[in-house]
């Protein structure tokens, strides 16, 4: 089996396509996926590059084991985020991801630079690419997908075309999204409507067939596989509500009385089937809507349901489908509507939308994504297209809707689990629950110490950085955690041991930290919004809050565990240990002060 050791580069300004070998050192140190995308981004972008300018790089990355690993094949979209101004990696699975791996052949990534004069799409097949005119500019994601019935399609909808800062890249007719942080807006700024892949997914080589079978069986029989088979990610609604961490009606409460009406039982009642029903672990629940069908996942009922006080599952599913078709992130969109409601209730803006009002929410989301008139005074939807922080800055409102690095938090309220607050604050792409999820155990633990919280977050961040460089399924890839997939490389006769792959994950996390530091991110970027220092008003976590001084001590302990200084910058010793010292350019600040004291076992 040929090793993936090239990239395809498409310069839309020059209208050129080229193939380039990936330096051996880069492949060993950064693997593929997230890691390789981060290395290209760090090497090729100057500090201050406009995310929506032609100089930004958009990478569609796979890994050395893509198409072979257990679960769905996934791809990574890596770029500089228009929402946060920092590093962005966003992931999606499905048919497109598998066919991208097959179409790239011996390439690890499709690198897109420049910007076209007129709308185009890029066709990838046989390890090569070509640029063709796009006829579907203005179409939604489902309509765009239908333009290419015999291919896999990743595309943008109206939100990406007009540069909404949290526009998604949708694939498989909107069933899957590289969702957070605005990769779709970057695609729109390049006048790139779609990437079309025509080859079949790669066949699993005989030497990996047994490993794949054992991995899928281990996943299906494990706790995560059983949990997903029962309810996919929709059971997150019930879990968050039970532990008092389900942000409700714009983060004003942490339990939703109608949670049962929008959670797993409601989905099962409404479902007409499951995605991939022939798999050991089937996919999401398919439900019918007035527009066609939708596959709502956990973030949809949490953010568009509880977060907006919408009690009817059908209405929540319809809002999710609307976001899917327009190509807009459901978490950021739900928080944007919640901001408008709370700002209106406080008399700071004029907006005819309220909690429990799916029609008003629908009208505002459409206005944000398409630029049409909506239910708010002129200017509100345009401001919200830049994110909650942009709207708050424009209208002088407080930060009732929490963000980290300008990315809106998902509906897991971290006041019920301080370790989750640390995971949000230190996430390399902004307020994200996917880098580390200590809330899964911390919210039900009798006690957790500082060192336990720090270790859990650091370990998960490093491990996922490694596995997302393969690019492994976030859930089905869990059986790879112990050995970091070393036996897969061994089966292919490639010399990669578990320790070198673990170290690659840590190295990648630190490289992204350097990228963000070069963009001006420092300790202040790891701060939590003041709303989280206010007590939880109701539910099992009533009275819980993030104590600012205790959190600063927790952050100090995290920095120490990472080998960073008090400003959150990797020290020269850490860079040397990770073999990054020769990578750092002169524009990147590096830690110089003494490292913090080791973590302590207190209970703050």
Cα(352)–Cα(522) distance, integer angstroms: 39
pLDDT of residue 595: 47
Do 190 and 294 sit in the same domain of this protein?
no
d(CA 367, CA 373): 6
In this prediction, residue 597 has a pLDDT band, given cuts at 50, 70 and 90, of: very low
Whether 92 shows a pLDDT value over 80: the answer reads yes
544 vs 115, more confident: 115
DSSP classification of residue 222: S
372 and 462 in a single domain? The answer is: no
- pLDDT value, residue 222: 87
**Is residue 433, in this structure, part of any structural domain at all?**
yes
Domain identity same for 155 and 286: no
Residue-level pLDDT at 536: 83
| 200 cis-preceded (ω within 30 degrees of 0) | no
The answer on 314 and 187 residing in a single domain is no
Unique residue bearing structure tokens 């949990």: 227
Distances (CA, A) of 587 to 227, 287, 564: 46, 51, 18
Instruction: Give the least confident one: 125-134, 388-397, 445-454.
Output: 445-454
| Overall number of domains in the chain | 3
Tell me if 409 is assigned to some domain.
Answer: no
Contacts made by residues 17-24, CB under 8 angstroms, sequence distance 24+? 17/128, 17/129, 17/130, 17/131, 19/107, 19/127, 19/128, 22/108
Say whether both 55 and 196 belong to one domain: yes
Q: Is residue 555 part of a domain?
A: yes
Residue 229, pLDDT > 50, answer yes
The residue that leads in pLDDT, 584 or 483, is 584
Q: Report CA torsion sign: 227, 545, 526, 365.
A: positive
Give residue 249's pLDDT: 96
Predicted confidence at residue 95, as pLDDT, reads 95
Percent of the chain whose pLDDT exceeds 70: 97
Pairwise CA distance, residues 357 & 315, whole Å: 9
| Distance in angstroms (rounded) separating the CA atoms of residues 365 and 387 | 12
**Does residue 600 lie within any of the structural domains?**
no
Binning pLDDT at 50, 70 and 90, where does residue 540 land? confident
pLDDT exceeds cutoff 80 at 1? no
| CB-CB contact of 190 with 12 (8 Å) | yes
Q: What is the mean pLDDT of residues 93-109?
A: 97
The CA distance from 568 to 494, in Å, is: 35
Q: What is the average pLDDT across 129-137?
A: 95
Q: Find out whether 123 and 141 touch, Cβ atoms under 8 Å.
A: no
- Scored b (16 or more CB within 10 A) or e, 578-587 reads bebeebbeee
Say if residue 532's pLDDT is above 60.
yes
In 3-state terms, what secondary structure has residue 329?
A: coil
Q: pLDDT of 241-293, one tens digit each?
A: 988 889 999 999 999 999 999 988 888 888 888 877 767 667 778 888 777 77
* Beta strands at 192-197 and 120-125: parallel, antiparallel or unpaired: parallel
Name the least confident of 242-256, 473-487, 584-598.
584-598
Mean pLDDT of 90-96: 95
Q: Tokens 């690993």 map to which residue?
A: 69
Could you tell me if residue 589 is inside a domain? no
Q: In the listed set 401, 424, 441, which residue is the last one of a domain according to the structure?
A: 401
> Are 174 and 252 contained in the same domain?
no
Q: Establish if 211 belongs to a structural domain.
A: no
Separation CA 537–CA 400 (nearest Å): 14
Same-domain check for residues 183 and 37: yes
pLDDT band at 596 (very low <50, low <70, confident <90, very high): very low
Residues 470 and 358 in one domain: no
Q: What is residue 541's predicted lDDT score, i.e. its pLDDT?
A: 77
Give the pTM: 0.95
Question: Residue 312 domain-assigned?
Answer: yes
CA distance 308 to 288: 21
The count of C-alpha atoms lying within 13 angstroms of the C-alpha of 538, restricted to the half-sphere facing its C-beta, is: 12
Q: What is the pLDDT of residues 147-180, one digit of tens each?
A: 999 999 999 999 999 999 999 999 999 999 999 9
Q: What pLDDT score does 243 carry?
A: 86
Task: Give Cβ neighbours of residue 552 (< 8 Å, ≥ 6 apart).
Answer: none
pLDDT at 602 over 60: no
Question: The CATH number of the domain where 457 resides is what?
Answer: 1.10.599.10
Mean pLDDT of the residues in the chain:
92
CATH number at residue 47: 3.60.9.10
144 and 252 co-located in one domain = no
Answer with the one of 370, 401, 432 that is the final residue of a domain. 401
Residue 484 lies in a domain: yes
As a whole number, mean pLDDT of residues 545-562 equals 96
> Checking DSSP bridges between strand 128-133 and strand 87-92, what pairing results, if any?
unpaired
Tell me the C-alpha distance between 95 and 541, whole Å. 41
Do 395 and 250 share a structural domain? Answer: yes
Residue 195 pLDDT exceeds 90: yes
Residue 604 scores a pLDDT above 50: no
Contact yes or no for 425/404 (Cβ under 8 A): yes
* Cβ atoms of 152 and 96 closer than 8 Å: yes
d(CA 88, CA 82): 9
523 vs 492: which has the higher pLDDT: 523
Range of the domain at 555: 414-577
Give percent above pLDDT 90 in the chain: 75
Check whether 127 has a pLDDT greater than 50: yes
Given this model, what pLDDT does residue 137 score? 95
Is residue 436 domain-shared with residue 370, that is, in the same domain?
A: no
pLDDT (average), residues 25-49: 97
Is there a single domain that holds both residue 67 and residue 98?
Answer: yes
Q: Tokens 């054992």 label which residue?
A: 214
């Amino acid at each position: 089996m040929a090793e993936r050791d090239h990239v395809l580069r498409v310069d839309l300004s020059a209208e050129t396509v080229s193939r380039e070998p990936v330096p051996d050192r880069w492949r060993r140190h950064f693997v593929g996926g997230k890691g390789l995308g981060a290395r290209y981004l760090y090497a090729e972008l100057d500090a201050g590059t406009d995310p929506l300018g032609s100089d930004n790089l958009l990478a569609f990355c796979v890994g050395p084991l893509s198409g072979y690993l257990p679960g769905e094949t996934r791809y990574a979209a890596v770029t500089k985020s228009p929402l946060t101004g920092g590093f962005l990696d966003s992931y999606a699975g499905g048919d497109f991801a598998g066919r991208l791996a097959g179409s790239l052949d011996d390439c690890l990534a499709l690198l897109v630079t420049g910007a076209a004069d007129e709308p185009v799409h890029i066709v990838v097949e046989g390890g090569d690419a070509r640029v063709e005119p796009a006829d579907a500019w203005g179409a939604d994601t489902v309509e765009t997908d239908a333009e290419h019935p015999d291919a896999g399609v990743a595309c943008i909808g109206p939100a990406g075309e007009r540069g909404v800062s949290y526009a998604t890249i949708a694939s498989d007719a909107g069933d899957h999204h590289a969702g957070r942080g605005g990769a779709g807006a970057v695609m729109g700024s390049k006048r790139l409507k779609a990437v079309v892949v025509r080859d079949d997914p790669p066949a699993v080589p005989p030497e990996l067939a047994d490993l794949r079978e054992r991995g899928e069986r281990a996943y299906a029989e494990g706790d995560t596989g059983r949990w997903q088979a029962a309810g996919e990610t929709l059971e997150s609604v019930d879990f968050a509500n039970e532990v008092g961490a389900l942000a409700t009606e714009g983060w004003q409460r942490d339990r939703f009385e109608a949670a049962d009406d929008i959670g797993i039982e409601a989905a099962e009642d409404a479902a007409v089937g499951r995605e991939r029903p022939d798999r050991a672990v089937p996919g999401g629940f398919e439900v019918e809507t007035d527009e066609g069908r939708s596959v709502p996942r956990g973030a949809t009922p949490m953010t568009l349901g509880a977060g907006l006080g919408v009690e009817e599952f059908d209405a929540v599913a319809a809002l999710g489908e609307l976001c899917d078709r327009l190509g807009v992130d459901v978490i950021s969109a739900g928080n944007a509507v919640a901001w408008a409601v709370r700002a209106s209730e406080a008399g700071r803006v004029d907006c005819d939308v309220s909690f429990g009002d799916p029609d008003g929410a629908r009208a505002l989301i459409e206005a944000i994504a398409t630029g049409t008139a909506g239910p708010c005074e002129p200017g509100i939807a345009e401001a919200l297209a830049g994110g909650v922080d942009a709207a708050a800055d424009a209208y002088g409102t407080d930060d009732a809707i929490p963000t980290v690095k300008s990315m809106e938090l998902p509906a897991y309220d971290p006041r019920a689990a301080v370790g989750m607050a640390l995971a949000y604050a230190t996430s390399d792409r902004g307020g994200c629950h996917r880098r580390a999820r200590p809330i899964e155990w911390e919210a039900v633990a009798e006690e957790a110490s500082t060192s336990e919280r720090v270790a859990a977050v650091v370990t998960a961040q490093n491990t996922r950085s490694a596995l997302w460089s393969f690019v492994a399924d976030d859930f089905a890839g869990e059986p790879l955690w112990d050995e970091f997939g070393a036996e897969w490389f061994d089966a292919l006769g490639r010399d990669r041991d578990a320790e070198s792959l673990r170290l690659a994950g840590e190295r990648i996390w630190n490289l992204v930290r350097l990228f963000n530091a070069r963009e001006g991110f420092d300790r202040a970027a790891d701060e939590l919004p003041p709303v989280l220092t206010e007590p939880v008003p109701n539910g099992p976590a009533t009275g819980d809050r993030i104590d600012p001084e205790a959190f600063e001590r927790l952050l100090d302990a995290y920095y120490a565990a990472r080998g960073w200084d008090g400003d959150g910058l990797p020290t020269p010793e850490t860079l040397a240990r990770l073999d990054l010292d020769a990578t750092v350019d002169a524009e990147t600040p590096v830690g110089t002060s003494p490292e913090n004291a080791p973590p302590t076992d207190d209970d703050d």
